[in-house]
Amino acid sequence: MTLFQDVGTDPRDQAARLSDLLVAYGAIGSLACGERADLGRRVATIAASFAAFLEFDDALRAAVYYAAVLRSAGGLDNPALRKGADLSERYARLLRGDIPAEGARACARIAALPPLCADLVRWQAEAWDGTGNPDRLRWDGIPIGAQVVHAAAVYAMASDPDDGIAQIAARSGRVLAPELVRSFTMWFHTTGGEPLVEEPPIERLDSSATSAQSLLDFIAAHLDEHDGVPGRCVRIAAIADKLAVRMKLAESDRVALGVAARLYAAGGVAEQVPENERFDPLVRLAIGPRAENARRAAALLADIPSLRSAAGVVGARAEWYDGTGKPAGAAHQAIPLSARILAVAIACEELGYHLALQLRERRTTPLRRLADAAGTQFDPEVVRVATACLENGS
């Protein structure tokens, strides 16, 4: 099915949806880099305010805003952060320096972004003295927009505004241009260092160039590549949607389920080993870690207006039908039907993933195992429909 049908043709609504997805992409990248999920948005708010203080034109301000939002997006593509990466500490550190370049490559493929955005992402970690990443540009070779994002990131990562301005001052002439530090200090004293959250500059997104659906699929594909399971989201979304149709799920719930199926793995993005490799999908031992990943992903989605409806689905995917799951210990109909469907869809995909192993060990078939979990882990009705679907080859 096509997600986000309710948007209609109003370009502002489409742009708002795109903007939300970009925020989600940046947040997932932040988690992959070991940062707080909301860091990108905070950096963007500070950078946009500082850019306005510096009287940047609208196009550059929008590029700075989205570059700040997406500053860590490259974390999903970075080989040193990929699941199962086995690199020496020195080499991994060098490769991590390439996160901005990988983010720039990803941004260059999102046609809706303002033109300068990709290169601001590329150079947002460059240092004034030439010791930054990835290109080791120095002095006025670094675009001022990229320095603004860098300053905002330094400030946003500090423990409080006073610490932030002290960190900025300490980096003058090394990480940040001295003139920029002077301007930042003036901005700090003018605004009090806590800018108001502004509306994202959605009017600068070209919503005719990228659809929300394709951007969502793009993010999900990067997430799957990061986890080393290419195409996972496509498979899970297909299974989930089939089950949703058979179980006559409401249209709005199907949309939420579609988003949840693509982004549910965001919660475990920072873990070294993916969920499906750590645990068999049907063991009780996995409840805790799965619930924790679900909680993180739900918190990320709940913060983003147009993805909020998927948060409840993702957050409840680790609940067990018999009430022994986590985080709420909800049972039966207290678990949203979309979440029950998502849980079965994920298990189907993961059982398929382990199929070769199971055949080799001459254990029971995936379908038999799924059926055994009906009534305890899964909703029996959903399992019945899933089994019927899988048995007739659909």
Partner 1 sequence: MIELAQRTRRISPSRLLEILAAHDATSVVDPFMGVPTHLNYLKHHGITVHGGDLLEWFVRAGDGLVVNDLTVLRDAEIAEIVEMLPGRIYPIELFKAWEGVFFTEEQCVYLGVWHDNVRNLRSDGQTGLAVYALWNVFCYWLEKARFPDDMPDVAPSELAWSYMQQTERWVAPNNKRNTVRHADVLTTIGELRADALFLAPPARNAFHNADTRIWMWEAWWQANPYFTIEYAYRNSLFGARSSEPHTYAHALVSVVSAADAYPLLIVQTTEQRIGEIEPILRNARPNLEIIAPYPNEIYLVAKR
Q: In the bound complex, what is the minimum distance in angstroms from residue 109's beta carbon to partner 1?
A: 12
Tell which one of 38, 85, 105, 191 touches partner 1 (CB under 8 A).
105
Look up tokens 């070779």; give the residue: 141
Beta-carbon count within 10 A of 96 CB: 18
Tell which one of 8, 57, 86, 90 touches partner 1 (CB under 8 A).
90
3-state helix, strand, coil split of the chain in percent (to 5) is 65, 0, 35
> Quick one: which segment of 5-13, 85-93, 203-211, 263-271 binds partner 1 (CB under 8 A)?
85-93
Q: In the bound complex, what is the minimum distance in angstroms from residue 323's beta carbon to partner 1?
A: 52
* Of 12 and 174, CB closest to partner 1: 174
* Of 179 and 251, CB closest to partner 1: 179
Q: In the bound complex, what is the minimum distance in angstroms from residue 218's beta carbon to partner 1?
A: 19
* Of 129 and 206, CB closest to partner 1: 129
Catalogue the long-range contacts made by 285-289 (C-beta closer than 8 Å, 24 or more residues apart): 287/318, 287/320, 287/324, 287/325, 287/326, 288/326
Quickly list DSSP for 299-336: HHHHTSGGGHHHHHHHHTTT--TTS--SSS---GGGS-
Tell which one of 52, 85, 157, 169 touches partner 1 (CB under 8 A).
169
Q: In the bound complex, what is the minimum distance in angstroms from residue 56's beta carbon to partner 1?
A: 17
Q: In the bound complex, what is the minimum distance in angstroms from residue 53's beta carbon to partner 1?
A: 18
CA distances (Å), origin 246, targets 147, 173, 233, 249, 387: 53, 63, 20, 8, 12
Tell which one of 52, 138, 157, 214 touches partner 1 (CB under 8 A).
138
**Interface with partner 1 includes 111 (CB under 8 A)?**
no
* Of 8 and 139, CB closest to partner 1: 139
Sign of the CA dihedral running 285, 289, 295, 297? negative
Query: How is residue 375 written in tokens?
Result: 């009534």
**Interface with partner 1 includes 181 (CB under 8 A)?**
yes
Q: In the bound complex, what is the minimum distance in angstroms from residue 119's beta carbon to partner 1?
A: 7
Task: Put residue 205 in one of left, alpha, beta given phi > 0 → left and psi -120 to 50 → alpha.
Answer: beta
**Interface with partner 1 includes 93 (CB under 8 A)?**
yes
Please list, in sequence order, all residues whose beta carbon lies within 8 angstroms of the beta carbon of residue 251, skipping any fewer than 6 positions away. Answer: none
> Quick one: which segment of 101-109, 237-245, 255-263, 335-343 binds partner 1 (CB under 8 A)?
101-109
Q: Taking the chain, what is the end-to-end CA distance rounded to the nearest angstrom?
A: 16
**Interface with partner 1 includes 140 (CB under 8 A)?**
yes
Tell which one of 6, 91, 209, 285 touches partner 1 (CB under 8 A).
91
What's the chain's length in residues? 394
**Interface with partner 1 includes 82 (CB under 8 A)?**
no
Tell which one of 13, 38, 135, 372 touches partner 1 (CB under 8 A).
135
* Of 142 and 260, CB closest to partner 1: 142
User: To 5 degrees, how large is the angle CA 158–CA 65–CA 224?
Assistant: 85
Angstrom distance (rounded) from CA 4 to CA 177 = 43
> Quick one: which segment of 50-58, 95-103, 268-276, 279-287 binds partner 1 (CB under 8 A)?
95-103
Q: Are 53 and 151 in contact (CB under 8 A)?
A: no
DSSP 8-class letter at 200: P
Q: How many residues bind partner 1 (CB under 8 A)?
A: 31
Residue at 58: amino acid letter: D
**Interface with partner 1 includes 136 (CB under 8 A)?**
yes
Angstrom distance (rounded) from CA 160 to CA 167 = 10
**Interface with partner 1 includes 119 (CB under 8 A)?**
yes
Site residues, partner 1 (CB under 8 A): 90-91, 93-95, 98, 101, 104-105, 119, 122, 129-131, 134-141, 169-170, 172-174, 178-179, 181-182
